[in-house]
Structure 1
């Protein structure tokens, strides 16, 4: 799964979605430096290498090594090596200046899911929700493990884990896209096993596919919309009508609504 990163880094902010003050500051400072470096590259014949070097080191925290970065940016490996280490055999220090085209190409590489290495640990929120939703649909965990090429014990950890590897994120996301509209029985799962999977999901209160939008399933702050009105004062009544337990956002929304009404009445 990977160990949590230290606070006060851009990687902690983006990969683990930490929003503490040190991580927010680190992310803001990095973004400002990168924007300035890109702006400089538009007009200078050579650009200061330091902001670019900082970007390369920052990408290293995301698991993107300098050789991989050179390939992604389409920049000669020698240029990136000299940027970081100079040329020890010739007694040259790391580069102080850089060609604008190389600087812009390097700065354009960002730590997106496509660029990260398969073993880099990232926030597992979306992966966890996708697996849980598929189980709620009736896909047994053993079948999901087989289709993703994972050991079932590892999938069981992933389905409740905090951090997951990028390779797992990609595999689960692809599987979810394939299966979320497919009935398990139509996919070869015996009916009794599909029903057993659904019972497990109910026991753990795992949200089904219909509770998530593609735009929010990866966002830690998002919550499952069981009723179409979850998170609103009317959500609680909708839960009762459907016959499913009231979710926390609906309880909170109802309490906030009552408190507000009491304040208005007392005014």
Structure 2
């Protein structure tokens, strides 16, 4: 008897006629008939985009087993998509069920999927560490929390690349400390102030400048005030004593040039 789970596949492939398998087939047929009537029936999709995506994931150091686990499919299904079943004399699949294609295409190379020794961009790691320093957590304390030396932590806080294992540790540390008060964890107020001043001098963005959707995006810029890049953001920097960020500095430069151009036009009109 097959160890395949009871359902549509076991009914069709293994001939099981139990209630669960029969019900699954009944629901499948009902949904198929409705889709045919609605003109949305699509039993198969092209396998090539899925094959390309699998190869992309492999190029990011994800093995077939990891991809299969993330997609919640059998690894042999992925092997069939890539290479077919040589023992059966078949080549790579040309068509796939939509659900299988969607499951594989939804897999992305994230920190949770990649191997611990894989090298990735350090953008998110650096931003998290710098934001914690801006919140008053000293590099020495962060190094101790991460189980590394202060020297290695100092290198990490300005690194270009990092291994996944370290990136995960920093991410977990950030999730634990981003809204915690260093003073409540034994840090002296004078040390907290000195640490914040060091971060401000270096221009490191604080925790509030990032959210989950931007902190790992290399193209994203920190939003220091909640309105950076606008006149309101420029005012917030000035009123709150926040160092001018690149977006607000650019907006201030544009406003200055615009005002100078208006002044020149007004002077020319007055002379005329």
TM over 0.5, yes or no?
A: yes
TM (normalized to structure 1)? Answer: 0.67
CA shift, 1:257, in A, is 0.9
1:222 corresponds in structure 2 to 221
Unpaired stretches in structure 1, ≥5 consecutive residues: 1-40
User: Matches of residues 106-145 of structure 1 in structure 2 within 5 Å?
Assistant: 106-145=104-143
Q: Which residue of 1 aligns with 2:76?
A: 78
**Whose relative contact order is higher, 1 or 2, with alpha carbons under 8 Å and at least 6 apart?**
1
Structure-2-length-normalised TM-score: 0.66
- Which of 167, 183, 191 matches 1:185? 183
Query: Which residue in 1 is equivalent to 2:201?
Result: 203
Which residue of structure 1 aligns with residue 157 of structure 2? Answer: 159
Q: Indicate how the Cα distance of structure 1 residues 203 and 66 shifts in structure 2: closer, same or farther if over 3 A, else same.
A: same
C-alpha RMSD over aligned residues: 3.2
How far residue 56 of structure 1 moved from its aligned partner, in angstroms, is 1.0
Report 1:10-89 matches (<5 A): 43-44=42-43, 46-88=44-86
Matched residues in 2 for 1:214 and 1:133: separation? Answer: 13
Alignment partners' CA distance in 2, 1:108 and 1:214: 19
Match of 1:174?
A: 172
- Retained in 2: the 8 A contact 1:48–1:96? yes
Q: For the residues of structure 2 that align with 1:91 and 1:151, how far apart are their CA atoms?
A: 56
SS in 1 for 2:78: helix
Larger Rg: 2
Unaligned runs of 5+ in 2: 1-39, 267-272
Measured against aligned partners, the alpha-carbon deviations of 1:142-181 in whole angstroms (never above 9, x if no partner) come to: 2212223445444323312233344333322322222122
Change (3 A) 1:152 1:63: farther
Aligned length: 225
Deviation for aligned residue 1:184: 1.4
